[in-house]
Amino acid sequence: MATQTKLQIIDADTHVLETERTWDYLEPAEEKYRPQLFSSPADPTRQYWVIEDKIRGLRFQTLTEQQLRERSQRSGRNVETPQAARELDDVELRLNHMDELGVDVQVLHNTLWIEPVAEKPDVDAALCRSWNRWLAGVWGKGRGRLRWSCVIPTLMLDEALVQMRTAKEHGAVAVCMRPLEGDRSMLDPYFYPVYEEASRLNMAIAVHIANGNPANCELVKSFPGGSGGFYTFRVPTVASCAMLLMSELPEVFPHLRWGFIEASAQWVPWVYHEAARRAAGQANKFPEDPFTEYNIFVTCQTDDDLPYILKYSGENSLVIGTDYGHTDTSSELDAIAVFQGLPGISQEIKDKILHYNPKALYSL
């Protein structure tokens, strides 16, 4: 009797938290650009990256194990990760924790670039290069289990293409793009060289929740609950997927894969209906299964209404992530185990979401 091969479980959304060691890969002439990490005198757990003499990027609170345990108890979701694992000072510790969580492969995304990082092209390029070199080293120690999404200097596209090629050679499976990049949306033709090269390299475009427009970030932070990230990060991500569905990009880059990461999937039916209605009467017929047709993948959460969402996303487009390393509303270290136990979803579809779909998204 043939033995059934166990499918690899792929966590499509995990994180690494940048540390001062992230910038040890700067060139000697670039040391002047090294980000400085400062703590709040009133609350040492609150830290800030200072780049170009301004507070830049995103830095999560540095919480003790006890504080993480208390946060897990309050939220009802496990967010406890060892500091050396989430900061990747100890790769073996991270791999061991993955074993405990039942995860075979993690795809790592950045934390810093969720918000604007640099205004000057040279600074942007130097920091991206150092971060990518850091993750290349992590991949080298990870025995093929730690893949990653590279960051690119969008202010200097020639350099961005060079960094993409190097990252691909060192384990990167995706290119990070923010829904808003400065004064441009990610659909701006300015970025077409990035998409052309990603398609050639067989790398996905990972649209992780983020916002690279400083004015927009400041505006929405004044909204009720704005500092929590819903308006700042999630809304632009959802809007960018809607725009992609209605754009020329799927036709211009038919083989390029798009991942919309960490915005849950509850919005998929709404975006489907909006795109289909707006496409009605146009020359090009809107696909019956646009997410599959256009190579669009979306990370879901365990509390999403998945049977309903699957009617619109199709069964080949959902993936799932734990948000390992973060402590926000998307974080759930036990997401894989919880998902495996959900009723109302066939084992065939669970296998697709846990293995086949993320394998296709990241070409693993």
Whole-structure pTM value: 0.93
Statement: residue 3 has pLDDT above 70: no
How many domains in the chain? 1
pLDDT tens digits, 227-283: 668 889 999 999 999 999 999 999 999 999 999 999 999 999 999 999 999 888 776
158 is a domain residue = yes
1 is a domain residue = no
2 is a domain residue = no
Statement: residue 87 has pLDDT above 80: yes
Contact present, 134 and 22 (Cβ < 8 Å): yes
- Beta bridge mates, 297: 259
pLDDT tens digits, 310-331: 999 999 999 999 999 887 666 7
Statement: residue 57 has pLDDT above 90: no
Q: How far apart are CA 296 and CA 237, in angstroms?
A: 13
Location of structure tokens 């995103």 = 58
DSSP H or E run through 319: strand 318-320
Q: How far apart are CA 228 and CA 249, in angstroms?
A: 31
4 is a domain residue = no
Q: Count Cβ atoms below 10 Å from residue 230 Cβ, excluding itself.
A: 16
245 is a domain residue = yes
Statement: residue 93 has pLDDT above 60: yes
79 is a domain residue = yes
Average confidence (pLDDT) over 327-349: 89
Domain that holds residue 96: 10-362
Q: For 51, phi and psi rounded to 5 degrees? A: -130, 135
Burial 284-322 (b: 16+ CB within 10 A, else e): eebbeebbeebbbbbbbbbebebeebbebbbbbbbbbbb
38 is a domain residue = yes
Burial 45-74 (b: 16+ CB within 10 A, else e): eeebbebeeeebbbbbebbeeeebeebbee
Q: How confident is the model at residue 222 (pLDDT cuts 50, 70, 90)?
A: confident
Q: How confident is the model at residue 1 (pLDDT cuts 50, 70, 90)?
A: very low
5 is a domain residue = no
The CATH number that applies at residue 315 is: 3.20.20.140
Q: Count Cβ atoms below 10 Å from residue 214 Cβ, excluding itself.
A: 16
